[in-house]
Chains A and B, each alone.
Chain A
Amino acid sequence: MTTDQLTLAPAPPSEAAERVRLEVRQFLAEELAAGSFSTHVDTWLSGVDPEFSRKLGARGWLGMTWPKEYGGHERTAQERYAVTEELLAAGAPVAAHWIADRQSGPNLLRYGTEAQRKEILPRIAAGECYFVIGMSEPDSGSDLASIRTRATRNADGDFVVNGAKVWTSNAHHSHYAIVLVRTGPPGEGPRGKHQGLTQLLVDLSLPGIAINPIRILDGGHHFNEVVFSDVVVPGDMLLGTEGAGWHQVTAELAFERSGPERFLSTWPLLAEFGRRAAATQDPAQLATLGRLSSRALALRQLSLRIAAALDRGELPDIPAALVKDVGTTFEQDVVDEVRRVADVPASLDSPDPLGRALAEAQLHAPGYTLRGGTNEILKGIVARGLGLR
């Protein structure tokens, strides 16, 4: 029936997850006390700190679910979930390794060659190797299958790549991109353009790659345009199967869309607001805190269910789209709802930490419902899950 595709089994309770959660809390309290980072909103985009990433790697908190032979720690999805949500809630600087740990590593585990896994995964797990997503292009946003970046094989069997990718977060700090390219012609019919697409593992230090900054609303440099001009990518850097890029991307997006970063980007603002409500004990503020928290609790339960499903080897792409739609809407609503009951002007220069958190959250807000698939695209996927298209 209609809603079956949206229903997932509850995640089993995990004592191991609660244990590692307390370890992470302790670590974060010590790091905060030592001044090694300060709390910010949306740090999985903006908080690049390789030293912090290496500390997490040293504690075994990256590549947590991967096999030990690839530098992983063979822990459960719930344990990884606890670690990631603690880091996000604290507003810790996790952007450097975030993409590699969340989706590039799992993608390599699923589709990579043995050589690729042995070479790269241990470095990701150590917090030393960072990835960017090479999907969107200047003329291809929501219509991802219309990408024009091309790769052709030369006489040596290597790929020669030409084209440009945009919104590549932190490419200027990263080592690899997983680039979706067209290697063959599209097929017939409405889904024909899904054919002929391929994922390549591209070393960002290769000749012919230019990385140009694109600044977001608060002036921050996280996004880039990455231009490929006759870049020669060795043939053994093909990821997965030539021509199966669309299928592989779909799998990757289930990881990309369902994690706690899809509803916790503005948690540091909510935590700051909680401090305010604790001080004022204002009933309207307490009610807003309670209402927003109930929404976040629901999202957390959904997201945990998806983590457990991914752990079971399922591909819950439709629930993942739903979590991201509902979750990122929530992230934006936090800004609006807090403003309604806390009369604090938003400013990055505010002497009030709540004013600064509001400013950061507001200036980042348009991105929440765009990145990783716009909410309109996500609703379309949910509608497909309902059997409407």
Chain B
Amino acid sequence: MASDQDLVVETVREILHGHEPFVLTAERSWDEGLWAALADAGLTGVGLPEEAGGSGGELADAVAVVRTLAAGAGAVPVAEQLLVAGPALVAADLDLPSPDEPLTVAFEGTVAAEPSDDGDGPGRFVLTGTATDVPWAGVARHVAVLATPPAGIEGAVLAVVDASGLTASRAVNLAGEPRGSLVLDGVGVPGALLDPARAAQLRARYALARAVQISAALQQVLAWTVQYAGERVQFGRPLGKFQAIQMELAQMAGEVTATAALVDAAVQALGRGEETLPLAAAAAKVRAGEAVERVAKLAHQVHGAIGFTQEHRLHHLTRRCWSWRDEAGSELTWSRTLGAALVAAGPDDVWPAFTAVV
């Protein structure tokens, strides 16, 4: 429900109007023009506090920006910046880079952090290792890295890396979005120690951000598919008049609506505080990933052969959804986490644990 966010949604839509999605390539791996327009409008700092250099506003505003860009297949690291890396740096009292420059996250890989002895005092670490599956690697100017802490310390080190001097290996997801690796060769950076709970909450934030994107994209896919079924005529009737097609569209609507309800509830859990977030985010990510399976399949089925081409817009969202469900933890990863948590309270207490999730 975005009633308070209507203005922000409208602004993002107007900007998107001048930046149609395109097929991402090695030469053009993100939408720099879209990013510049968003940054000019202050939208790349929404939800981040003004005193930290952000544009201010609520979590709901940031979610509205992310949802609108996801539905518009905007090739920019806004979800990473507004919902994950930005809030994490602020919460850890680390300096937020200028929101005008893209900031991303690196939570996978083999990066180890050791306290720095460069004489700059506490809060500095040396990072060594390879960060993998880095969204927008090579595009983002800064990276919030989650690294293994020094021996004997639990949790993780959150550090901010200036990526301008680093080379990113080229790898892309199914939608062509950069997902390469970054080699960190003893880089000295500011960082903060996160206890295990905060580290888990940060990973959950990333999962929830992807779930928010998926939910918004699937709602758009449904709308496109309903629209197409109303326009495409075969046997003298629009496709949408055939009962078989109606059943498929209703099934899509069920998936999309159920997913949106859970993702919204998980976002509200995040808004209330992060303690209850990990399981709510886990459930939302699993549900969203499952919805991708059925909704994308049926959307392509209804669209027919034209939807199977790069000429048609559908792939901008279906290819992204097929990737986003894998990223930040797949359904398998998070469903194991959720299942283990539900039985952790005791064999007879699955139901109380269930009702406490969200």
A10 touching B264 in the complex, CB below 8 Å, given contacts A2-B222, A386-B250? yes
The range of chain A's interface size is: 35 or more
Distance (Å) between the CB of A258 and the closest chain B CB? 12
A298 beta carbon closer than 8 Å to chain B: yes
Which of A281, A286, A302, A325 is in CB contact (< 8 Å) with B250?
A325
Name which of B30-38, B157-165, B255-263 contacts chain A.
Answer: B255-263
Q: How far is the CA of A364 from the CA of B247 in the complex (A)?
A: 24
Q: Mark B239-266, 1 if CB is under 8 A from A, else 0.
A: 0110101110111011111111110110
Distance (Å) between the CB of A268 and the closest chain B CB? 10
- Which chain B residue has the least Cβ–Cβ distance from A289? B339
Q: Which of B153-209 contact A (CB under 8 A)?
A: none
Chain A residues contacting B338 (CB-CB under 8 Å) are 289-290, 293-294
Distance (Å) between the CB of B151 and the closest chain A CB? 28
Which of B256, B331, B348 is in CB contact (< 8 Å) with A3?
B256
Q: Are A389 and B241 in contact (CB under 8 A)?
A: yes
Chain A residues contacting B226 (CB-CB under 8 Å) are 2, 386-388
A21 touching B240 in the complex, CB below 8 Å, given contacts A2-B227, A293-B339? no
Distance (Å) between the CB of B268 and the closest chain A CB? 7
Which of A288, A299, A305 is in CB contact (< 8 Å) with B339?
A288
A388 touching B290 in the complex, CB below 8 Å, given contacts A285-B339, A298-B261? no
Chain A residues contacting B331 (CB-CB under 8 Å) are 291
- Which chain A residue has the least Cβ–Cβ distance from B248? A379
- Which chain B residue has the least Cβ–Cβ distance from A305? B261
Q: How many B residues have CB within 8 A of the partner chain? A: 57
Name which of B45-53, B62-70, B78-86, B350-358 contacts chain A.
Answer: B350-358
Give chain A's interface secondary structure class. helix
Q: Which of A274-313 contact B (CB under 8 A)?
A: 274-275, 277-279, 281, 283, 285-291, 293-299, 301-302, 305
A315 beta carbon closer than 8 Å to chain B: no
B89 beta carbon closer than 8 Å to chain A: no
Chain A residues contacting B268 (CB-CB under 8 Å) are 10
Q: Are B339 and A386 in contact (CB under 8 A)?
A: no
Q: How far is the CA of A298 from the CA of B261 in the complex (A)?
A: 6
B42 beta carbon closer than 8 Å to chain A: no
Give chain B's interface secondary structure class. helix
Chain B residues contacting A385 (CB-CB under 8 Å) are 253
Chain B residues contacting A389 (CB-CB under 8 Å) are 240-241, 246
B139 beta carbon closer than 8 Å to chain A: no
B122 beta carbon closer than 8 Å to chain A: no
Q: How far is the CA of A295 from the CA of B289 in the complex (A)?
A: 11
Chain A residues contacting B348 (CB-CB under 8 Å) are 275
A34 beta carbon closer than 8 Å to chain B: no
Highest count of chain B CB atoms <10 Å: which of A296, A299, A376, A379: A379
Chain B residues contacting A380 (CB-CB under 8 Å) are 243, 246, 250
A6 beta carbon closer than 8 Å to chain B: yes
Highest count of chain B CB atoms <10 Å: which of A1, A9, A281, A297: A297
Distance (Å) between the CB of A310 and the closest chain B CB? 16
User: Interface residues, chain B, CB within 8 Å of chain A?
Assistant: 1, 219, 222-223, 226-227, 229-230, 240-241, 243, 245-247, 249-251, 253-262, 264-265, 268, 282-284, 286-287, 290, 331-332, 334-340, 342-343, 346-348, 350-352, 354-355, 357-358
- Report 18 cross-chain contacts, Cβ distance below 8 Å, ordered by A residue: A2-B227, A3-B222, A7-B1, A10-B1, A271-B351, A283-B336, A289-B338, A293-B338, A293-B357, A294-B283, A294-B284, A297-B354, A297-B357, A298-B287, A301-B262, A305-B261, A378-B250, A388-B226
- Kindly list 9 other residue pairs between chains A and B, CB separation below 8 angstroms, not including A286-B335, A382-B254: A10-B268, A277-B343, A281-B343, A289-B343, A290-B340, A293-B354, A297-B354, A387-B230, A388-B245
